[in-house]
Structure 1
Amino acid sequence: MEHQVQQKVSTRNTRYPWLTSLLAVFYLALLVAALWWPGATLLERLRWLDSGICAQLLTHSLYPGGKRLPLCSRNTGIYLGFFVTMIMLFIRKRGRAQALPGKSLIIALCVGIFFLAVDGTNSLFVDLGIAHLYQPNNLLRLASGLLAGLAMGVFVLPVINGLIWRHGNTQRSLPAWIELGWFLPILFVCFYAAASQSGLALYPLAILSTLGLLTAVGGINLIFILLLSKRDESFTRYTELIPFCGFALLAATGELLLLAQLKLSLFQALGIPLS
């Protein structure tokens, strides 16, 4: 009986192999359009894509090579940290981990999130002209974002894996304190690349942070797609996930573009100049 169920799932997963090819062609065309379609630079297109999520305040942004990143300092840190953490989890063979870290590591990661909350609140108080703890700066915003992005990746991956895979996996996304020795140096390199304001870091930072934003929104979409299609806990191979992830990212792109347009329309109606 179990063999018949597995065969049925396998047949259902491979019924539409053309979807993978179609999605690959579509994303290739989207990439070509982003790079070479006339009328705007890649950086301007990334700024527009990210604008519905991020306030993109000029004074809260970093300027590698004299050009503003698509996301503000804090959001650059959050989504860059999240994307890099997800990549590192797969490199460290934790891609299917379904268990959260131990209590002490959870507390430490939550401290990073708390740091972001405190720094963000303090920055808001400064912007509102009320009493605050200290003078904020973009490097603190970047650092708090990177730490929160690390925590986000470590916490989110097991949750999504629990909804994807048919068979359980007792691996922890971050099994021990020593494992941080693989993640923190990479985050420090990201921090240094952004803090250096070097023009060489402009496009890597802009692209990776935007990919992090797309991955985060796409991950939320993937959860809803799996639940609505009743395909949760039914996958055994990554190849079976390609169409679902493709549609989740496609929806994320559309949602971000819609938010950007809604923000533009709202600001125009209120007479607020865009930064």
Structure 2
Amino acid sequence: MEHQCKQKTPEAGALSPWLTGLLTLLYLALLAALVWWPGATLLERLRWLDSGICAQLLTHSLYPGGERLPLCSRNTGIYLGFFVTLIILYARKRGRAQALPDKSLVIALCAGILFLAVDGINSLLVDLGLSHLYHPNNLLRLASGLLAGFAMSVFVLPVINGLIWRYGNAQRSLPAWTELSWFLPALLLCFCAAASQSGLFLYPLAILSSLGLLSAVGSINLIFFLLLSKRDESFTRYKELIPICGLALLAATGELLILAQIKFSLFQALGIPLS
């Protein structure tokens, strides 16, 4: 049986229309400020937002249309893969899945994460001037990031769903090998778009990867907020999640901005030039 009651008594309250409208206006205002506030460009603002998480090394970055993406190649892959996979999971009606893939798929997904770890360590050895396995390049960084982001999304969604929903759902986030036919072409498209370095893909890649970063940090916040508020396993409808998800994303934005400022201040104090 796919849906099972978890026998948890607290019921999440319905969201009032005025609060829904207020949150919507708030997000629209923040979005408008991000795009149209005088001064820095949208790309510069995204670079600043992402800078606390990403080293943004010039030699490790891609330049569609001659403009540097907000995240380095590996992080672009990770958060782009994470966000695109989430979109496909919801489009495939697996947004409430609470079960992990079967063992063979878990092993394959973990291999993708291992690929990222090996490539990352190898790249670090090169940067330190130490012996290494091979000469790294940005396309390998991008590919390893995309595979790791894909795996992260498939693993994280069931965990979060298990904390959110009042009723159990036996769906697997990735039910079978054949389901990869929905994800791998999308990841390949992302890879080709970034690798082409075409200015046509500059803003889609910059925005989607930054949204992926916000979603990943927001997901961690959401887990903490659910546990701290003791509202885990109490929701039945998506609209009930608007306040707590909104708070998680707002907190994620604030955390990223604080990290960016800390990095800026630290680099200034040490006399390290910013990218």
Q: TM-score with structure 2 length normalisation?
A: 0.96
Q: CA deviation at 1:222?
A: 0.5
Secondary structure of 1:223 counterpart = helix
Q: CA deviation at 1:166?
A: 0.2
**Which structure 2 residues correspond to residues 1-275 of structure 1 after superposition, within 5 A?**
9=11, 12-14=13-15, 16-275=16-275
Please identify runs of 4+ aligned residues in structure 1 that moved more than 4 A. none
Q: CA deviation at 1:13?
A: 3.0
CA distance, structure 1, for counterparts of residue 216 and residue 58 of structure 2: 24
CA distance, structure 2, for counterparts of residue 57 and residue 229 of structure 1: 39
Secondary structure of 2:100 counterpart = coil
Unaligned runs of 5+ in 2: none
Q: CA deviation at 1:39?
A: 0.7
Letter in 2 for 1:99: A
CA distance, structure 2, for counterparts of residue 13 and residue 117 of structure 1: 43
CA distance, structure 1, for counterparts of residue 22 and residue 196 of structure 2: 40
Q: CA deviation at 1:9?
A: 2.5
Q: TM-score with structure 1 length normalisation?
A: 0.96
Alpha-carbon deviations, 1:189-242, whole Å to 9, x = none?
000000000000000000000000000000000111111111000000000001
Unaligned runs of 5+ in 1: none
Letter in 2 for 1:72: C
Q: Pairwise CA RMSD of aligned residues?
A: 1.3
Q: CA deviation at 1:23?
A: 1.5
Letter in 2 for 1:30: L
CA distance, structure 1, for counterparts of residue 181 and residue 256 of structure 2: 34
Q: Which has the higher helix share?
A: 1
CA distance, structure 1, for counterparts of residue 26 and residue 254 of structure 2: 14
CA distance, structure 2, for counterparts of residue 269 and residue 147 of structure 1: 37
Q: Calculate percent identity across the aligned residue pairs.
A: 81
Secondary structure of 2:168 counterpart = coil
Q: CA deviation at 1:20?
A: 2.0
Letter in 2 for 1:9: E
The one of the two structures with greater contact order (alpha-carbon pairs below 8 A, sep at least 6) is 2
Q: CA deviation at 1:18?
A: 2.7
Q: CA deviation at 1:21?
A: 1.6
The count of residues paired between Structure 1 and Structure 2 equals 269
CA distance, structure 2, for counterparts of residue 73 and residue 47 of structure 1: 13
